[in-house]
Each structure stands twice: as C-alpha cells, then as structure tokens.
Structure 1
Amino acid sequence: MSDEKQNLPAVPAEHDNQVVLAEPIPDPGVEPHELRITDIDPKAADRVERQVATMFGLAGVLALGSCVAYFAIPRDSILEFGPLTGNANNLVIGLCLGLSLFLIGAGAIQWAKKLMVDTEVAEDRHDAHSTPQQKTEIMEAFQQGAAESGFGRRKLIRRSLIGAMGLLGLPAIVLLRDLGPLPGRKLYDTIWAKGIRVVNDVTLRPIKPSDLVVGQLVNAAPANLAPMQEESGVEYQNAKAKAAVIVVRIAPNEIRTPAGRENWGIDGILCYSKICTHVGCPISLYEQTTHHVLCPCHQSTFDLADGAKVIFGPAARPLPQLPLAVDAEGYLVAQSGFTEPVGPSFWERG
C-alpha cells in the first residue's frame, strides 16, 4: 500500500465490519473571475467615483455641522417628538457625527466593491517567519495593492476622503470643551492660610505638640473647614479634598531637612499634603521605623523624614509640605498656605 493511501482517513463500511479508505475531496480551485460593469465601462467607473466622492464630501460637511450645532444650538433647548423629548444640542451633534461616520463607511464599501480590483487570489500556507525574499514579495504585493486600489490614481476619491477624515477630527477637538473648565489657579490654592489651626480630621479638635508622640501619624485638616460644611456641600468637598494633610512626629535627629525649610517643623512635627502627587489618591499608610508613607493606589512611597521625597513608585514629586508654627495658646497653626500646588502633577505645574 502506498504512503498516500496509508495517510487517508478510515471510515466504516455501510454493510459489514470492513474498513475502507475515503478518497480526498478534490480542490475545486478558484472560480473564473467575472468582470463588473465598472471594469468594462469607464463611464460607469467615473459615475461610481463621483458617488463615493459625494459620500465623503457629505461626511465632511456633516462633521462641520456637528461643530456648528455645538455652538449654535442652546444647551437647554428641547426637541419634542410626540411623547418623546430630547436635548436638541446632543441630538443634532449625534445625528451629524453618526451620519458622517456612516457615509465614510458606505463610501469605502462602494469604492471597494465597484472600483478596487476584486480578483481572488489563493496561496499556500507558509511558516510565520518570513524570509528576506518573502518580505520583498510582501512589499511588492502591498505596492501592487495600493496601485490596484486606485487611491493614487483617483484623485477625486483621495482628496474627498482625506478631507472627510480631516474634518471628522474637528468635532473631537470641539467636544473637549465638555470635559470641563481648565483648573486655572485652583490647584495652587487651598483654604490653608497663616494662623489657621491644625485640627484632627475626625474630632475637629485643635492639636498641640504635646498631643503627639514620636512615631505617631495623625490625619488632619484646617480649622476653617468645618464652617463650610453647612454652606455648600460641593464647595466643602472640594476644599476638604485639597486641604487634607498628615501630621507626623519624628525624632529630630532622624530628620533630613531640605534647604529653606529649617523652621517648617516643631520639635520633629512635620505636616504634609495627604494627596499623592501621582494621581491624587489619599495616603496615610505609615511605617514609623523607616518614616515611609505608602500610597495604596499605585504604591508610590515617600520618605517623610527627608522632605517627603519619592523613593519608589510612579509619583514624580515629593508631597507638598505645610510650614508649621505654634500660636499663643500652644496649638499647631500654619505659617502660610502651601507654597506649591497640591495633588497630582500636571503640565502647568512647572
């Protein structure tokens, strides 16, 4: 028996227990190619080209229309369709963008079906790794495909598509406005100011140096935060998020004070922003032996005994430090507000 027969699959016979070998299914091959009307009639090809260019052109107009609608239609205007109502601004922008994307897709399909070469090609499977010769053949096939697509030859389609795709990017730029106003100077300022007492963020009791022992860390807040709670919930939460601090007491001989901050602590008591400089997570996981505080979100680690500099993790800046003093009654107070923005780093921070 030949090797070819030995490799054929075995199937049971219909009327007895004998096993026979099945013949392989013959390869039907590639069906003969049929020419389209656009392959025969140049006028038909030009007509399809104009159709595709019209779709791309309308897509660009609709993309511009979405930008116009964003500014021209009032945000509070309402459209009513019987029992259905909707925001006119959002509806028109959505329709314009949706139709623009649809027309680009429809034009691309019409272009591929009617104008691009549609000859079927079959090739044998080969190893995933390409030889230099195969790479050359791939590049030649790519260049041939680019030529057969007509992208370089059909200028009307090329220009209209490039225009539509370019204009489609404008709504994305315009809609960036809805991400909200830029922070401006808001991240530079907190409600900390000269003379503001440091209070426990739970009991709201003012803190004296004698209340802290070496190795202790306390979550704290400014004393002027509590009155804001009754005035405005939003303003209160924003102020609290930026003003939250941690107060730690370290043996003075273990502190490496950065230049210019010699008088920012009180007998080893230091105060830092509680907001991680990576993405703004609150931190307070403290290891008193090493004086390291860890952010639970992405494991940024800061050395509180060395100006809260970053010793591990993705954070790029030390925790901002709040300069401390003691008032006439012996309570911890701020010498001033923070001298740098609190929270995560951003491009305007410098």
Structure 2
Amino acid sequence: MTDHTPESEHTAGTAVRLDQGHVQGTGGVPDRFENPGLPPHVHRAADLDDRAARRAERIVAGLFGLSMVGTLIFLVAYFLVDVETQTFVPVVGRTSLSNVLLGVGLALALLGIGLGAVQWAKTLMPDEESVEERHPLRSSQEARDGFVETMMEGGEKAQLTRRPILKGAFLGSMALFPLPLVLQVAGSLGPLPKNDLSVTWWNGRRDEQTGLIVKPEKKLRLMTDPENKPIRPGEVTIGSVFHVMPEGLLEEHGTHKLTEKGKAAVLLMRLKPEDFQDTPGGRKAQEWGYQGIVAYSKICTHVGCPVGLYEQTTHHLLCPCHQSTFDVTNDCEVIFGPAKRPLPQLKITVENGYLVADQPFQEPVGPSFWERES
C-alpha cells in the first residue's frame, strides 16, 4: 500500500536529529552574539536629593540602633532575669520571662542588622550598572598594589567617610551582636561539675541564702516518683523498675527544685544474684546494691538525656535519645552507643525496713565531657 500522507505530517511532533554544532532553524551556530546592552539607569531619590540621602542615612542608623537595643535586651535577660519568673504570652500561655526576652532580644538584633544592611544597599550604596570585560584570572602586581586604593574608594562611595553617624551605628551593632552568640556557646554549657553536678540532693541540699551544702542528718530514704512513698525491698520485684527521688526533694518548694530533681533522679530495679557477671563491675554492682536491688543515675553520660528503658531479658538500660546502652549486670558499663562512661551507681541499704542511700554518688552525674573522679 502506498502512503500518501504528506511529509510534514510525518515530521510533526517527531524529534529531528541535528548535526553536532547546529541549531534547528538557524543553519548553524553564529560566530558571535549581539550585545543586548543595559537598560537605562534609573537614579534613586538619594542620588539626586541630599535630604533624601540624609533621611535614608537616619533610617539605616535607626535599624542598626534597633539591633543594639535587641542585644542589650538579650544581655539584661541573660544576667538579671530569673529563669523561674513566669509571664503570660498570647497563644503560647504562661512561659518563662527569661526565654521570651532572650528570643525577642536576639530576633531584634538579627532583624536590625539585616534590614539595615538591605536599606543601606538599596538607598546609599552605588547601584550603577557596569560591564567588565573578561580578563586572565592571574592578578598582576598592579592589581595587588591597587587593592587598598580600591577598598578606600569603595568606602568613599558607600559614604562611610562622609556620614560618621552611619559608620558608628553600623560598627556598634556589629560589635555588640556577637555577644549573645558567645554567651550561648560558652556561657550556657552549664556550671562545672565541681560546683554543681558532683553535688546532688543525695549529698545534701544547697542553702539558697549562703550557697553552702547542708548535709542530711540521716540516711535518705528512696521515695517513689511522683507518689513520694518510701520503698520496702519486697516491693521491688524481678523485672520492675522504680523511678526514685531522695527523701524530702518532692516536698521542696525552692526555685531550684526542677534542677535538683533532674540531677538526683534514680532508676531502681532488681536482678537475681546469679544474673550479675563475675567481673569487678558485676561484683561492685552487687556490693553497692541490696539483695539484687541496684540503683543507678537516670541521666545519660552522653548528653544528659533521661535513661528510661529497661529490657528485662538482657538487663540492659537504653537511652532513647541516641541509643546508648548500659549493662546493669556489669556496673552499667556502656556496651553500645556514643556514651563513654557508665551510669553512676547509688549505694543503698535498708534501715527500719525501707531502702535508704548508704552513700551518695561517688562521681558527678551527667554528660561524660565533664571531668569525673572515680
């Protein structure tokens, strides 16, 4: 059968192979492209009117000043506002006044610098279009020698020398802005262990007036959290886990109650005597326990997350944050994960029928990147 379909219909919608170096419909690649040129330059108000330029200068300086105010708010909140002070924020509800002021201050510091830089570039910095022919990428000695001159010329065009208010406001905002970042990185890692993490409620309570440690007059009982009831050894069955606090802490009403609870939190569990390994760690775990009942700090030694998962069949404690795994049968040694130190053990015994702490933790609790003593 003869196909009478026109050739144009065969090629419609079909990719046509082109010879390399050719463009369909042009007959090939042109030797050069015409320079489209630049659109006519439109002058800004600040380029033509000195009053508009001064007005733009004041706006930029005001924005940099806003950044300085935000930084000062951050510093005042960081050093002077108690983290326990509460305030009401619409939509959010009641929250820490310190956190609100820190967030608002840092936001103003960033926003002021950002908006100030944008306004400066759009109103006062040169915006004339220019064309620079491509040249070899090797810098000549003349280019190096002219670098300083070019920078000085750029500063002159940016009107730094003519407008000292602008320069002062910009430098002031840039000088103050890094302070919140330095405080966040260096100052918010927490106190040194010798000042804080080596002292928990098991050692004694810290007097809020003098800052001194008041040691307990008797051995502290282990209390269930949150019921605040003392624990008898018979109540701790094989496979059960108790979240424990020291006696008196749950009844405390001081401003540092949450901090003390976080440091003193303990996990209590019971194993069969034969489940402990015959190693120095396993023998210590039994000696510091009572009839197979052992107590360990709940704070992971990696970054301080709460260890809260106990696997009865393997006797492993698991931190849910980064999967650090501790072996209860061998003094909570690390067997998996990023933690580098075992969980500190609380030595326990029995008095008047209840479990008590025979002595406090012998090393600081918490992350292992702090110094520890055996």
Paired residue secondary structure (1:117): coil
Instruction: Write the distance in 1 (CA, Å) between the matches of 2:304 and 2:101.
Output: 35
TM superposition shift of 1:300? 1.1
Listed as ranges, the matches of 1:7-86 within 5 Å are 29-33=37-41, 51=58, 54-55=61-62, 58-59=65-66, 62=69, 66=73
Gap runs ≥5 in structure 2: 1-17, 28-33, 88-97, 204-215
Contact 1:228 1:235 in 2 (8 A): no
The alpha-carbon distance between structure 1 residues 146 and 282, as it changes in their structure 2 partners (threshold 3 A), is farther
- State TM-score, norm by structure 1: 0.57
Instruction: Write the distance in 2 (CA, Å) between the matches of 1:162 and 1:239.
Output: 43
Q: Does 1:284 align with 2:309?
A: yes
Q: Does 1:154 align with 2:160?
A: yes
The alpha-carbon distance between structure 1 residues 48 and 148, as it changes in their structure 2 partners (threshold 3 A), is farther
What's 1:273 paired with? 297
What's 2:363 paired with? 340
Deviation string 1:190-246 (CA, Å, 9 cap, x unpaired) is 24776444566678540159x655xx4532535736x945x7599887665523322
Contact 1:246 1:271 in 2 (8 A): yes
Gap runs ≥5 in structure 1: 9-25, 78-88, 124-132
TM superposition shift of 1:339? 2.2
Aligned match for 1:118, one of 124, 127, 137: 127
Q: Amino acid of the residue matched to residue 173 of structure 2?
A: A
The alpha-carbon distance between structure 1 residues 135 and 276, as it changes in their structure 2 partners (threshold 3 A), is farther
Identity of aligned residues (%): 31
Q: Amino acid of the residue matched to residue 112 of structure 1?
A: A
Q: Amino acid of the residue matched to residue 283 of structure 1?
A: G
- State TM-score, norm by structure 2: 0.54
Larger CA deviation: 154-163 vs 186-195:
186-195
Aligned match for 2:172, one of 134, 140, 163: 163
What's 1:315 paired with? 339
Listed as ranges, the matches of 1:190-269 within 5 Å are 190-191=201-202, 195-198=219-222, 204-208=230-234, 216=239, 218-219=241-242, 221=244, 224=247, 228=250, 241=262, 242-249=264-271, 250-251=273-274, 254-258=277-281, 261=284, 263-266=287-290, 268-269=292-293
The alpha-carbon distance between structure 1 residues 148 and 332, as it changes in their structure 2 partners (threshold 3 A), is same
Q: Amino acid of the residue matched to residue 200 of structure 2?
A: D
Contact 2:197 2:366 in 1 (8 A): no
Instruction: Write the distance in 1 (CA, Å) between the matches of 2:172 and 2:245.
Output: 56
Q: Amino acid of the residue matched to residue 316 of structure 2?
A: H
What's 1:189 paired with? 200
The alpha-carbon distance between structure 1 residues 328 and 255, as it changes in their structure 2 partners (threshold 3 A), is farther
Q: Does 1:300 align with 2:324?
A: yes
Give aligned pairs, total.
302
The alpha-carbon distance between structure 1 residues 349 and 151, as it changes in their structure 2 partners (threshold 3 A), is farther
The alpha-carbon distance between structure 1 residues 236 and 172, as it changes in their structure 2 partners (threshold 3 A), is closer
The alpha-carbon distance between structure 1 residues 206 and 134, as it changes in their structure 2 partners (threshold 3 A), is farther
Instruction: Write the distance in 2 (CA, Å) between the matches of 1:103 and 1:301.
Output: 46
The alpha-carbon distance between structure 1 residues 122 and 260, as it changes in their structure 2 partners (threshold 3 A), is farther
Paired residue secondary structure (1:165): helix
RMSD: 5.9
